[in-house]
Structures are given as structure tokens and as C-alpha cells.
Amino acid sequence: MPSKPDSRRTSSSRSESTEDHLERIQELVEAKGYARVTDIAEALELSRSTVSNMVRRLAKRGYVNYERYRGFTLTAEGQAVARHVKQRHRTLSDLL
């Protein structure tokens, strides 16, 4: 039986959640120079454990760098994805 497409997946197979996390991390890095799990959880209204799990996955995929006591920053690939997501959101907002 064929599986149903996941409506929360983007055309490039990243989930909306992944993209939301990357976009929020980018915004925090632009504002503060880094992002912490607590900051991301507060911004996305999620639990710290949920954000911690996602950040681990983002790091495994090569989107996030972690420096102990300094928080998270995005890799070049993570920055590119975050910029793309932000531009797409801006375009959609302009259309509405």
C-alpha cells in the first residue's frame, strides 16, 4: 500500500519543524550572536527537551554548530536553508 505524503514535508524533504527551528536559530544568532535551547524553546513555544532533540538532529545533518557554554550557530548550509525559508515566508506574506 503506498504511503500518504507527509503534508509537513517541504519539497526538499526537510520538515516544517526543521525549517522553523533553523529560521528561529538564524534570527536569534542575528540578534545575539548565538542561540540557546532555552531561547529557541521560548520563541517556538516548545519544551526544552523537544528543542534539544531537534538541535541534535540538526547537528547530525550538518546544519548546526554547538560550542559549549556559547550556544548554537548555523553552519553555512544551515544559514543557506534559513535564508531560503525566510525568503519564502516573506514572499508568502507579501502575497497575502
Q: What is the pLDDT of residue 13?
A: 62
Q: What is the pLDDT of residue 88?
A: 83
Residue 8 lies in a domain: no
CATH number assigned to the domain comprising residue 80:
1.10.10.10
- pLDDT per residue over 24-51, tens digit each? 999 999 999 889 999 999 999 999 999 9
DSSP string covering the chain, please?
-PPPP-TTB-TTS-BHHHHHHHHHHHHHHHHHSSB-HHHHHHHHT--HHHHHHHHHHHHHTTSEEEETTTEEEE-HHHHHHHHHHHHHHHHHHHH-
Q: Which residue segment(s) compose the domain that 53 sits in?
A: 16-95
Residue 9 lies in a domain: no
Q: What is the pLDDT of residue 7?
A: 40
Residue 11 lies in a domain: no
Q: What is the pLDDT of residue 2?
A: 43
Residue 83 lies in a domain: yes
In which residue ranges of the chain is pLDDT below 50?
Answer: 1-11
Residue 46 lies in a domain: yes
The model scores a pTM over 0.85: no
Q: What is the pLDDT of residue 70?
A: 80
- The count of domains in the chain is 1
Residue 45 lies in a domain: yes
Q: What is the pLDDT of residue 14?
A: 73
Residue 44 lies in a domain: yes
Residue 1 lies in a domain: no
